[in-house]
Amino acid sequence: MEKKCKPEDIGLKSFFLGPQSENAIWFQSSVSQLLVRWFEWRQGRQVEDGRAISPKDQASPEFQKQRKITTDILADLSKRFEEEVPKYSPRYAGHMFSEVALPAMLGHIAALLHNPNTISGESARVGVQIENEAIEELLKMIGYSPSEGTGHFTSGGTVANFEAVVRARGRMALWMAGGAALAELNGSIPDPCRDAVVGWQAFDRVILELSQRDPAWESRLDSWNFEKTGFHHFASCLNDVFGVSIDHPVMLVPSHKHYSWQKAARLFGFGDETMKLIHLDARGRMDVGHLNARIQQAKNHDHPVMMVVSVSGTTELGVVDPIGDVASTLRQAGFIWHHVDAAYGGFLATLTKDVYPEMSDELQAGLASISASDSVTIDPHKLGYVPYSAGVFMVAQKRNYCLRSIEAPYIQYSGLDRGPMTLEGSRSGTGVAATWMVAKTMGLTPNGFGRVLARNMHARRLLEQELSKAKMPAHIVQTTDSNVLCFVMAREGEPLSVVNTRTKAMHEKLSQPDSRFIVSTTTIDWQHYGALCERFAGSWGASCDVHEIVLIRMCLMNPFFMSKETAIFYPEAFVHEIDSLAMSAG
């Protein structure tokens, strides 16, 4: 095997520390420079104030005693962290994180030193600007217009998804209020399900008419806005005033949804019933025909459709939904809020056929269609190689972002400030600066970040080939949209229960503190993945004595997993390990 790295890949090696801390000296000196600058910044300001801690203080026994306590406890903490999950290692391929990029780490540390709270310019003079610039880079990456779109950093994908629900709900409440308020004025009958998806242009006409005819139009509008009055009050007023009935709003989400959507349904007070699941096809992607049926069903049962979610990079299998088909289906049903949960797969938008020639047309079209959605979640702390916590929520149009703002009397806000619009209050600038550094150094383009991700995609393909050499046959879930690889080891005709027991035993062995490789596991069932489960179990002629399949799940993100220069070739070594574990598990 050729031991050399391609010249164009050598530059990528500067972005990561390396499994043996190969770039330690450069990183250490960069951190040290950051510290020196920070010290000098403080020392250079108000020199005339004089020192508060003297060398004599520092030499005193009390001072020395306290300092020793901190030194000892820090050493203890540092030692304890040596038991932490070694996520940096090419032997780690469990969940959606890996080695963190050095530029990201440096950005994180730089921000940590200045500790900006991006709630407002008052507490983050520079932080809010960096956030603006980082958001602009991410808007461009997914194809939203940087002048029309906006967004902000969150603590992660869960909160970013909540941000979408808040806005979809707010917009729907406003549009329905407009319809009801005008009908009240006109003595006509509103159609709340149609009003829920009426679109800004039509809504603006409603507001124009309202404002021309009623000087108190704003309070009339507010009295019909269920965000202010509560949904039950709105529904009973519709019934009392117009004899119109309406049922609770629905959120249409694919069966492979992340569990944050269920949290959202409960948190925002509509209950689990709000969330209607859309079936998946045999490849685990959203079934757009069923989405259509769900929209019709909602209409027939007086449920306004609050939003539709599609996913780029599903949590379990890494699948990308047919986002373009979802967008065109929605266009026929009015202006339904379309959110793309690209918490994992947002950065895949940097892939093109130039850097990843094996990319399917379908995947390319799906990723390109993210730009047609209303809003998106992207987690730099997943495929962006940024340290925790860094999630992002973005909208394609500012109008959908600034639907409501709540200001605090003790904070002075100015132009760039997002504080009044975000669900979270204080927000750290670390994820912002880390993502900004990744964008500025690696570049959120095919030739920059795209090449790192293309390596991951190749790693997946290569591991598939290696798995085909195992003695115990490996059966891979055939979803090639991303670098998530899920499989089982099974002999022809083995019942599912036997295979599941084996997979659990293998995973147990591969999650020990001293295990040579670390993977994760997930379970797919007939209720959510019926067509896929059927097809997958059929691939080894399994008898389906249980109705779920336990899978070994790997997120192949480590940039050195395919290294040709290490003494070990990880894909081969992994297959050797998994094969012997499968054999010994029976």
Ligand X SMILES: Cc1ncc(COP(=O)(O)O)c(C=O)c1O
Planar angle of CA 481, 485, 488, nearest 5 degrees? 135
The DSSP output letter for 5 is P
To which residue do tokens 């808007």 refer?
139
Measured CA to CA, the distance from residue 154 to residue 44 in angstroms comes to 34
Q: Which of residues 474-503 bind ligand X (CB under 6 A)?
A: none
Please give the single-letter amino acid code of residue 404: R
Residue whose CB is less far from ligand X, 509 or 553 = 553
Q: Which range, of 152-160, 353-361, 498-506, 556-564, touches ligand X by CB under 6 A?
A: 152-160
| Structure-block tokens of residue 287 | 């079934």
Nearer to ligand X, 95 or 299 (CB): 95
**Least distance to ligand X from the beta carbon of 258, Å?**
4
SS3 435: helix
Among 281, 321, 341, 579, binds ligand X (CB under 6 A): 341
Which residue from 156, 284, 559, 571 is in contact with ligand X, where contact means CB under 6 A? Answer: 156
Min dist CB 95 to ligand X, Å, is 8
With contacts defined by CB under 6 A, name the span among 341-349, 400-408, 478-486, 514-522 that binds ligand X: 341-349
Question: Cα–Cα distance between 373 and 123 in angstroms, integer?
Answer: 32
Query: For residue 251, which of 310, 324, 194 has the smallest C-alpha distance?
Result: 310
Q: Contact, 80 vs 4, CB < 8 A?
A: no
Q: From the CB of 367, what's the least distance to ligand X, in Å? A: 15
Interface with ligand X in residues 304-333 (CB under 6 A)? 311, 314-315
CB 249 within 8 A of CB 303: yes
Choice between 320 and 533, CB closer to ligand X: 320
Among 116, 157, 178, 387, contact with ligand X (rule: CB under 6 A): 157
Residues contacting ligand X: total by CB under 6 A: 15
Cβ at position 345, least distance to ligand X in Å? 8
Least distance in angstroms from the C-beta of 346 to ligand X: 10
Q: Is 291 near ligand X (CB under 6 A)?
A: no
**Min CB(259)–ligand X separation in Å:** 8
> How many CB atoms are located within 10 Å of the residue 378 CB?
31
Contact 152, 131 (CB under 8 A): yes
Closest CB to ligand X among residues 206, 253: 253
Q: What minimum distance in Å lies between the beta carbon of 460 and ligand X?
A: 17
Strand 375-378's sheet: what is its strand order?
150-154, 391-395, 375-378, 337-342, 305-311, 250-254, 275-278
Could you tell me which stretch among 5-13, 29-37, 111-119, 339-347 binds ligand X (CB under 6 A)? 339-347
| Residue carrying the six token digits 């009973």 | 236
> What does the alpha-carbon distance between residue 257 and residue 310 come to, in Å, rounded to a whole number?
8
> Least separation, in Å, of the C-beta of 388 and ligand X?
8
Give the pair of three-digit tokens for residue 191.
């159609």
**Rounded Cα distance, 414 and 419, in Å:** 10
Q: Which residue in the block uniquely carries the two structure tokens 């081969």? A: 572
CB of 337 closer than 8 Å to CB of 168: yes
| 158 touches ligand X by CB under 6 A | yes
HSE, side-chain direction, 13 A CA sphere, residue 47: 5
Nearest approach, Cβ of residue 506 and ligand X (Å) = 22
Q: For ligand X, which is the closer residue by CB, 176 or 392?
A: 392
Residue 520 in contact with ligand X, rule: CB under 6 A:
no
Nearest CB to ligand X, comparing residues 96 and 557: 96
Cα–chain center distance at 183: 41
Using CB under 6 A as the binding rule, whether residue 450 contacts ligand X is answered as no
Instruction: Name the one range near ligand X by CB under 6 A: 140-148, 157-165, 282-290, 325-333.
Output: 157-165
Q: What minimum distance in Å lies between the beta carbon of 131 and ligand X? A: 18
CB of 118 to ligand X, least distance (A): 18
Select the span of 340-348, 463-471, 520-528, 540-548 touching ligand X (CB under 6 A).
340-348
Q: Of 343, 488, 532, 550, which one interacts with ligand X (CB under 6 A)?
A: 343
**Pairwise CA distance, residues 106 & 189, whole Å:** 60
Q: How far is the CB of 173 from ligand X (least distance, A)?
A: 24
Q: Where are the beta strands (DSSP E) in 73-163?
A: 150-154
Closest distance of CB 278 from ligand X, Å = 15
User: How far from chain centre, in Å, is Cα 333?
Assistant: 27
List all residues 6 or more positions away from 463 whose beta carbon is below 8 Å from its beta carbon. 485, 554, 556, 571, 574, 575
Q: Give whichever of 157 and 178 is closer to ligand X, judged by the CB atom.
A: 157
Candidate residues 96, 128, 307, 336; the one interacting with ligand X per rule CB under 6 A: 96
Give the residue carrying structure tokens 């801390």.
21
Beta carbons within 8 Å of 266's beta carbon, 6+ residues apart: 272
Residues 368-387 that bind ligand X (CB under 6 A): 379
Shortest distance in whole angstroms from residue 46 CB to ligand X: 40
Find the part of the chain contacting ligand X (CB under 6 A) among 151-159, 204-212, 299-307, 392-400.
Answer: 151-159
Helix axes 157-186, 231-242, angle to 10 degrees: 20
* Residue 339 is a binding residue for ligand X (CB under 6 A): no
Give the nearer residue to ligand X in terms of CB position, either 272 or 361: 272
Q: Which is nearer to ligand X, 262 or 566 (CB)?
A: 262
User: Is the Cβ of residue 319 or residue 575 nearer to ligand X in the bound state?
Assistant: 319
The terminus-to-terminus CA distance of the chain in angstroms comes to 33
Task: Using CB under 6 A, pick the residue from 258, 290, 418, 528 that binds ligand X.
Answer: 258
Q: In whole angstroms, how far apart are CA 537 and each of 75, 167, 287, 430?
A: 50, 41, 20, 45
260 belongs to the binding site for ligand X (CB under 6 A) = yes
Q: In this structure, how many other beta carbons lie within 10 angstroms of the beta carbon of residue 56?
A: 8
To ligand X, the closest distance from the beta carbon of 431 in angstroms equals 11
Q: Give the residue with the Cβ less far from ligand X, 90 or 94.
A: 94
Alpha-carbon span 126 to 132, nearest angstrom: 10
Residue closer to ligand X by CB (options 155, 501) is: 155
Which positions from 73 through 92 interact with ligand X, judged by CB under 6 A? none
Contacts with ligand X, residue ranges (CB under 6 A): 96, 156-158, 161, 258, 260, 311, 314-315, 341, 343-344, 379, 391
